[in-house]
């Protein structure tokens, strides 16, 4: 990422971003927890894009070069933690489940970032405990490095309703499905259907953040029916796409 800014501290704060607004590539000497109270947040590194709707947060380790993008109006909450204070012990960006309790802790902690009192220290201790207990979630769209895999990924990502099999896509790009399957496993640790579902969910989250009707999202993202889309969305994020529009 060009023109990377070095921000020594990862500030704890709350801010808003308009739909489509970006925070350019930067890095911190501290860890950061990034949570979107509304809208959908995309955090991008050279390795891929991590997605966080309202039931997810993104752990960004200290030193990681990353950029933010808002899909829909974003109510952004950022929690900075010193590099030596890592309740998760993770060295790569990771999507975490945000329980109702963890959500309220993040909101409360970012409400008064300059407070140094005893109550805030106790709040931070509970926040640590909840982070340690937060399950990790594979809501990530990895970036391919092999040009053969990149060509196929681009076709699917540019048209989420694309229904061709891996074999058909391989033939269209001059390679073999066996080669692509090997590359998918080596680079992404996924099968082709798993990666395509992640790509479709990325587009679905973006469209829902723009208030696109659920039925339209299902159709544009290639699901065979609205009910099939709702089922995949619920299993991935813990709530239905209809509830997504109504969440706080």
Predicted confidence at residue 244, as pLDDT, reads 62
Q: Which residues pair with 83 in a beta bridge?
A: none
Predicted confidence at residue 225, as pLDDT, reads 95
Mean pLDDT within 128-140? 78
Closest CA to 93 of 129, 128, 130, 143: 143
With tokens 């010193």, the residue in question is 82
| Residue pair 79/32 in contact by the 8 Å Cβ criterion | yes
Mean pLDDT within 44-63? 87
Task: Quote the tokens at residue 36.
Answer: 């979107």
Give the range among 24-28, 61-65, 118-122, 225-229 with minimum mean pLDDT.
118-122
| Residue pair 159/173 in contact by the 8 Å Cβ criterion | no
The size of the chain, in residues, is: 248
Task: Provide the Cα torsion 146, 149, 155, 161; round to 10°.
Answer: -140
Q: How far apart are CA 19 and CA 10, in angstroms?
A: 23
Predicted confidence at residue 141, as pLDDT, reads 85
Predicted confidence at residue 138, as pLDDT, reads 61
The pLDDT tens digits for 195-223 are 999 999 989 988 988 889 999 999 999 99
Predicted confidence at residue 36, as pLDDT, reads 86
| Residue pair 80/30 in contact by the 8 Å Cβ criterion | yes
Q: Per-residue confidence at 15, pLDDT binned at 50, 70, 90?
A: confident
Q: How far apart are CA 35 and CA 154, in angstroms?
A: 28
- CATH number for the region 144-246 comes to 1.10.10.60
Predicted confidence at residue 137, as pLDDT, reads 67
With both helix axes pointing from N to C terminus, report the angle between 147-158 and 192-209 in degrees, rounded to the nearest 10. Answer: 40
Give the range among 9-18, 26-35, 179-188 with minimum mean pLDDT.
9-18
The pLDDT tens digits for 99-112 are 889 999 999 888 87
The pLDDT tens digits for 168-180 are 999 999 999 999 9
Q: Per-residue confidence at 82, pLDDT binned at 50, 70, 90?
A: confident
All structural domains of the chain with their residue ranges: 5-137, 144-246
Asked if the model's pLDDT at residue 140 lies above 60, the reply is: yes
Closest CA to 30 of 78, 77, 65, 62: 62
5-137 CATH fold = Jelly Rolls (2.60.120)
Q: Which is more confidently placed, 1 or 143?
A: 143
Strand 22-28 and strand 5-7: the pairing is parallel
Asked if the model's pLDDT at residue 183 lies above 80, the reply is: yes
Asked if the model's pLDDT at residue 187 lies above 90, the reply is: yes
């Amino acid at each position: 990422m060009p023109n990377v800014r070095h921000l020594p501290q990862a500030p704890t704060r709350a801010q808003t971003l308009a739909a489509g607004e970006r925070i350019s590539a930067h890095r911190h000497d501290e860890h950061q927890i990034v949570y979107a109270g509304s809208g959908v947040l995309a955090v991008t590194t050279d390795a891929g894009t991590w997605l966080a709707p309202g039931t997810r947060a993104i752990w960004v380790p200290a030193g990681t070069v990353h950029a933010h993008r808002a899909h829909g109006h974003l109510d952004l909450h950022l929690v900075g933690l010193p590099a030596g204070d890592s309740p998760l012990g993770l060295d790569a960006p990771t999507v975490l489940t945000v329980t109702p309790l963890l959500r309220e802790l993040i909101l409360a902690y970012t409400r008064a970032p300059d407070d140094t009192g005893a109550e805030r220290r106790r709040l931070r201790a509970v926040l640590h405990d909840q982070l340690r207990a937060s399950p990790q979630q594979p809501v990530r769209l990895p970036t391919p490095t092999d040009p053969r895999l990149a060509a196929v990924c681009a076709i699917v990502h540019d048209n989420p309703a694309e229904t061709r099999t891996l074999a058909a896509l391989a033939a269209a790009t001059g390679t073999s499905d066996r080669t692509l399957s090997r590359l998918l496993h080596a680079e992404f640790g996924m099968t082709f259907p798993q990666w395509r579902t992640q790509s479709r969910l990325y587009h679905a989250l973006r469209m829902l953040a723009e208030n696109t009707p659920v039925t339209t999202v299902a159709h544009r993202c290639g699901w065979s029916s609205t009910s099939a889309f709702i089922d995949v969305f619920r299993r991935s994020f813990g709530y239905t796409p209809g509830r997504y529009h109504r969440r706080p």
